Every structure is written in structure tokens, then in C-alpha cells.
Chains A and B, each alone.
Chain A
Amino acid sequence: MTDVTHFRDEKTGLLLASDGTPLKTKLRQSLKTSRRRAFMLVAPLLLFIMASFVIPILGLLWQGVSNATYEDSMPRSAPIMRAWDGSSPPSEEMAAAIVADMIDARKAKTIGKVATRVNREESGTRSLFTKTARRAAKMEAPFVAALEKADKDWANIETWRAIKIAATSLTPAFYAAAVDMKYTADGEFVEQSEERQIYVSLFVKTILVAGGVMLCCLLLGYPVAYLMAHLPAKTSNMLMILVLLPFWTSLLVRTTAWIAMLQAQGVLNDLFVFIGITSDDARFSLIYNMTGTVIAMTHILLPFMILPLYSVMRSIPISHVRAAKSLGATNWTAFWRVYFPATVPGIGAGGLLVFILAIGYYITPALVGGQDGQLISNFIAYHMQRSLNWSLAAALGGILLAIVLFLYWLYDRVVGIDNMKLG
């Protein structure tokens, strides 16, 4: 036996390898190669994800708080408008800068974008901008009077205040708009007028629908997963194929099938009338509304609930329930006190998965939701594709992301994320 102190540095007390270098250094060296290899293995995917996922998302989130449309096209007036206090009468300097910018922007054909941007802060200013820009070239000092002559709306201070907000590139205005607030030129947040408040109730609706879909999936999926976990392998494989079938069917085919099933003259309603649940002139409206959205989303997301549940249930030894029964528990007690707690990790995983997928679901509500079944993601898509208000879309998306992260954090606090089993 060798004396152990021989391998210890006398000054630092560190363990030494047999050649005298500290053991920790030695260990780092020996792990270096394997670490480098591990990094090389993930590097292509890492690059791909950075380029196609992380950077675009960060860029979009940045758009939620920053919109430089005005500043880019109207560079002279932007700093002057930002410096204005927002309450004193518009100065000659402001007016001159705006007129000069308008002439340039008209030449560069960017005046339309600027007009749209200002219009978001004060509706009606779009036509004011395009109209004034056409006349700007012929305007002469004093410019405040010239502008007011061109259109009397320039005499309204609210117009100038809207320009001040638009001129500020870095602004909370879009996030404020996403929660039905208005960011004023004085830097205050006020509530939107009642008829324009849509997003908060839409977020609430989306969360409720996602929760409802999750609950439906749990209620429908739990018994199926239980059956599959306790059948012989051959039969359960057959059932598994049936569960996965929705994954393998084209969304368009499924949507058509739902329409055939659920519409007023569809299979289900015909059946209801035939059995006598409802009369011919009072058929249920099951599609192109919230009901349709919930039914279709439950159908699509069901496998995401069943699969984690199934894999968790598979791993519960049959002897646990048997032990409970031999100890005197009835079937229900054995289920509720022994079996059910063991499936909680599966419920958590499936529930979280379904909820997070449902909260951002877009295509199904768009296809079968009608007017009333639209969710927040449909409005994000609307602002991306139709209204082209990308900053508002980014702000709505950012809030959605925050909600999901918050729920994830909450789940971790309550259930514990390491308790989750995906399979």
C-alpha cells in the first residue's frame, strides 16, 4: 500500500495525479476531448435552431417594443417631435421639419407607411397625411399656418400628439395596445374606449378554451390510456394505431370530415333529429363557432394526452393495486389513493403539453371556428398578414409567451417539473 499523503500537494492540499499535476486539471484535460466531441455533435442543430428559431423570435419580440417606421422615413422631425412636451402649441420648427420630411418621404414612396403608423395612434390621420404630403412641396413658411390651411385637423393637438408617439421608436405603445390600454403622449397609460377593448377578453377566452380542451382530453384520454396500458400487447398496439391515426391524416381531410359530421345538415345533426333529441328546425350549431373549435381541437390534441398517460400507466406495477386491495381497499379506494396518484406525472405532462399547444393553436380555429371561435393566435395572424401591424402582433405573441412561461413556472412550483414523464 502506498501512503495516500504522497499524492497530495503539501501547500494547497489538492490531490495530485501520479505525475504531479493537480488531479482536477488532469480530469479536465481528459474530459476535454469528449466535451468537444459532444459539442461537435450538437453544433449543426444548434446553428439551425439559432438561425431559424431563436434569432427570428428575438427579432419579433424586439419589434413588439420598437417600431422605427416613422424615424426611418421622417428623420428630421422625429427628434424634434420627441423633444416636444406634448401640450404646448405646435412650434414653427416642428411644422417645418414635418413638411420637409413629407416632401422626402413622398419622393421615397414611404409616406403611406408613415401615415399607417400614425393612424394606429389616432385614427383618421392616414388620409390627413397622404393628402398633406401631396401639397407639401408647394407650402411656404409659416408652416404651422400652411398645414392648418391644408387641413383643419392640423389645428387639433391630438394629431401632433399621435405623431409624437409614432416618432418614438422604442415604445411600450404596442404592449399597451395588446392589453387594451393606450399609451398617451404624456407617457401615461389609459384604458381604451370600451368598444375597442378586445384583446384582454380574447386572452381570457383563449386560456379558458385551452383549459377546456385540456380537461376534455383528460376525461376522454384517461380511460383509453388505462385500457391500453392493461391490455395484452397485441391488442394495445392495435389501439395505439387508432390513437395515432389523427396524426397521420391530412388536416384538410380531417377538417372536411368534421364539416360533414358537424354541420347543420351533417351526420350528427341528422342522427339527433332521427333519435328525437332535437327537432328538424332546431338543429344544433356544432361548427363555425366555439363548439366546433373545442371539438376539433380536442380531437387533434387527444394523442398528446394519451401518450404520456399511457407510458406512465405502463410503468405502474400491477402489484401496487393488488397490494391496496389485499390491504382491504375497495376498487375505488385502490384506484383513488394508489393508482391515481401514480398517474399524476402523466396527467401533468399531458395536461401541460395539451394546454401549451392549445393556447397557441391557430389553424383549427381558423378553419372551423367561424367568427366566435377565433382565438388570440388568429388575431396575431391577422395582424401579421392583413393589417401588417407586426409590432402589435409581436406584442400579442410576447404576452402569449409570457403566459406560457408563467404557467410552466407555476406547474414547476406546484407539481415539480422533474415529476413530469413524457414517455
Chain B
Amino acid sequence: MTDTPGERPFVHFDGVQKSYDGETLVVKNLNLEIGQGEFVTMLGPSGSGKTTCLMMLAGFEAATHGEIYLKGQPVNNVSPHKRNIGMVFQNYALFPHMTVGENLAFPLQVRKMSRSDVKQKVQRALEMVQMGEFGARKPAQLSGGQQQRVALARALVFEPELVLMDEPLGALDKQLREHMQYEIKHLHEQLGVTVVYVTHDQSEALTMSDRVAVFDDGIIQQLAPPSVLYEQPDNAFVAQFIGENNRLTGNVTEIVDGVARVQLENGPIVNALAVNCDGVGQKTQLSIRPERIQINSAGIPNQMEGRVLELIYLGDHIRCRMQVCDHDDFIVKVPNSPEHTMLQVGQTYNVGWQTSDCRALDVI
């Protein structure tokens, strides 16, 4: 990242709202600053407003209210073709009647570049995505992954400073998708372009992004680097949406130094970090990651009994479904190491966790 936070942001959404029908807001008061060279992912379930935000940035949708700034310049009234933003679409949107080479040459030709420049840049862009041999092919003759690379090369060939990607890996199979994630990440590091990426796939978001904006209901629920997002979710939605999460509900009895004492429903009193709970006497939802739960270990503060309902062998770890505090969907991930307790279905064990691994959040 070349810009330090606090300088003029590269992309700036300022109080942006969007409504299609004049009755409901698809995007509610969006404020987002993206630094130059940053890789920011908009993550959220479908209908959360993330794609609409991307389309407003690209210029295909007009903001109903608010202003979008690109390098400090308001762009609401700038037409898409003048914004100089590269874009990769969900279905690649390669022009089927042109060869791969012609597809890549298109943005350069409309910029009136000389023929030799065009040829050189196209070849370089194709080689960048390991598609140097395929210039004469038609898009229909390529596999999904190859089309994806071409779409990527086309969005980069005219050297835009900002590239938008709208679920570009959605149509690929799992293995190829993971492979392409790394390639996109490396291209981003190599070229230093700013990338705004939209996806509903959380592992994709966590793999590639500098920061992830979690969208729900037209609002950014949390904007943070992946590790923070996973380990320190701000609210129950983010905790739920990112990764696996055990939920226990209870009432707050007191809050001391940011630690809440919570009386669990059908369970004991436990300690949790008071992140987003309303105060003493209010309901709260505790969030604990399955891999942070320890079984039969002494000397940890929050302990209770749990009965094993189901064991699933997953190679590197064992997924254990337990009944805890009358919840029968309490998941514990037990690492597959020889010295570890071999659990038995139907047996009762002691489960517990560190106070810092348990977050008291809002109730959904």
C-alpha cells in the first residue's frame, strides 16, 4: 500500500444511497474509503447491496443520493467509458465474435493506440496470465478458467489504476477457483493496482483481501482485515457469516473492565468480552469459534459439561457435535493428533474456553 491512511483516499463513497423503486433502499448510507493499491473485498449474501455498490463505482448505476469520489474527483456525472476503470464480470463478458487477441486489443484501439503498441501490449498482457499462445482463439474455444484469465488480462491491458471484479470466479470449480485466487492475489501484488472485489464466498475474501467489507441489508457491517474479521467480529451477523461459529444466548449480569458476566440459558455463568452487548440485564449472544474450544483441559475459566452426539472424521481434524446448555448444534473441532483424547459418542466431557475467545454480541 503506497498511501497511508489519512491521506486523500483513492476511492471514496460519501453517504451513498441507492434505491431502484423509490420505496426501499438497496444501499443505505454507504461510507467507504479505499486507499491506492489496496485490495478491498465487498462480501455479503445476495441482495446485500454489494454488487450495486460496484456498479455505481463503475458508472452503470447512478447513486440516488451521495457522491462517489475517484482520486478526489466526484464521478457521479462521469460516464463509464471515461472513468478508466478495468472490470471483470461474473460471466467474463468476452466478446464472442472477436478472437482473444481482438478482445484484448479492443480497449487499446478505442484509445487510438498505434498498431504496433497494441500488438505488443496485448502479447504482454496475455503472457502475464500465461495465455500467450491463445491470441488467435475464439473465447468459445477456451475452458472456463482460460476465459477467466483472458477477462482478467483484458481488464488490465490498458493499465487502469482501479480494477473492479464482480464475482469473477463464481463459475469455476473449487480447485480452479482456489488456484485463480492466488493468481489474482499475485497479479495485484505485482502490478500494484487498486482492486475492488465482490464475492459471496468468504474463503475467497479472506484469501485475497487487504480489507473486507461485510455487507448485509445495504449496510457495511464491518470493514476490517481478514484476521480481525474472523477473530474479532463486531456483531453477530459477521460472526455468523465469516467462518463457523457456536452461539450461546444468555443475560448480562455485570460488566467489569470490558468483560461481561453472562448467565447462560440452561447453563452456568461464564465470562465473555463485552464487544457489542447492550448492558446489564440485557440479552446477549456469545460467539465462540469451534477450534478455540478445549476438551478436558484443566485451568481454563469457562467450563461446562457437554455430551458428544456425533463424530465426523475429516482427516486433519475431527468434527465433534455436542450438546451443551441444551443446544445440540455445538461444534468442536478436535485436531487429529495421537495424544489427543479419543472421544466417544454418548460420553460426557468437560468443555471450556478462554474468556478472550468468547465475544458477547448483539442478538439476532
A337 contact set on B, CB distance < 8 A:
95, 106
Count of A residues near B, CB < 8 Å? 19
B96, chain A: closest CB distance, angstroms? 7
Contact B85 A326 (CB under 8 A): yes
Contact B106 A325 (CB under 8 A): no
Known: A327-B154, A327-B158. A322 touches B89 (CB 8 A): yes
Closest to B80 in A: A325
Q: Does B93 contact A (CB under 8 A)?
A: yes
CA distance A328 to B159 in the complex (A): 12
- List residues 324-352 of chain A with CB under 8 A from any CB of chain B: 324-331, 333-334, 337-338, 341-342
Interface SS, A side: helix
Q: Does B58 contact A (CB under 8 A)?
A: yes
B81 contact set on A, CB distance < 8 A:
325-331, 334
From A317, A328, A330, give the contact of B93 (CB < 8 A). Answer: A317
Interface SS, B side: loop
Q: Does B97 contact A (CB under 8 A)?
A: yes
Contact B106 A342 (CB under 8 A): no
CA distance A324 to B107 in the complex (A): 8
CA distance A102 to B239 in the complex (A): 109
Count of B residues near A, CB < 8 Å? 27
Q: Does B182 contact A (CB under 8 A)?
A: no
Contact A328 B110 (CB under 8 A): yes
CA distance A316 to B290 in the complex (A): 46
Contact A326 B86 (CB under 8 A): yes
Known: A327-B110, A337-B106. A322 touches B158 (CB 8 A): no
B86 contact set on A, CB distance < 8 A:
326-327
Contact B58 A319 (CB under 8 A): no
CA distance A342 to B93 in the complex (A): 12
B246, chain A: closest CB distance, angstroms? 40
Known: A328-B110, A328-B158. A322 touches B80 (CB 8 A): yes
Contact B110 A319 (CB under 8 A): no
CA distance A328 to B158 in the complex (A): 9
Q: Does B208 contact A (CB under 8 A)?
A: no
Q: Does B356 contact A (CB under 8 A)?
A: no
Interface string of B18-60 (1 = CB under 8 A from A): 0000000000000000000000000000000000000000111
Known: A322-B60, A342-B97. A328 touches B89 (CB 8 A): no
A326 contact set on B, CB distance < 8 A:
58-59, 80-81, 83, 85-87, 155, 164
Contact A317 B91 (CB under 8 A): yes
A342 contact set on B, CB distance < 8 A:
96-97
- List residues 81-109 of chain A with CB under 8 A from any CB of chain B: none
Residue from A322, A324, A328 whose CB has the most chain B CB atoms within 10 Å: A328
Interface string of B195-228 (1 = CB under 8 A from A): 0000000000000000000000000000000000
Contact A338 B95 (CB under 8 A): yes
From A328, A329, A330, A333, give the contact of B84 (CB < 8 A). Answer: A328
The 4 A-B residue pairs whose C-beta atoms are closest, nearest first, are A327-B107, A323-B93, A326-B87, A319-B93
25 intermolecular pairs with C-beta atoms under 8 Å apart: A317-B91, A319-B93, A320-B93, A320-B95, A322-B87, A322-B89, A323-B87, A323-B154, A325-B60, A325-B79, A325-B80, A325-B81, A326-B83, A327-B87, A327-B106, A327-B110, A329-B106, A329-B110, A330-B81, A331-B81, A333-B110, A337-B95, A337-B106, A341-B95, A341-B97
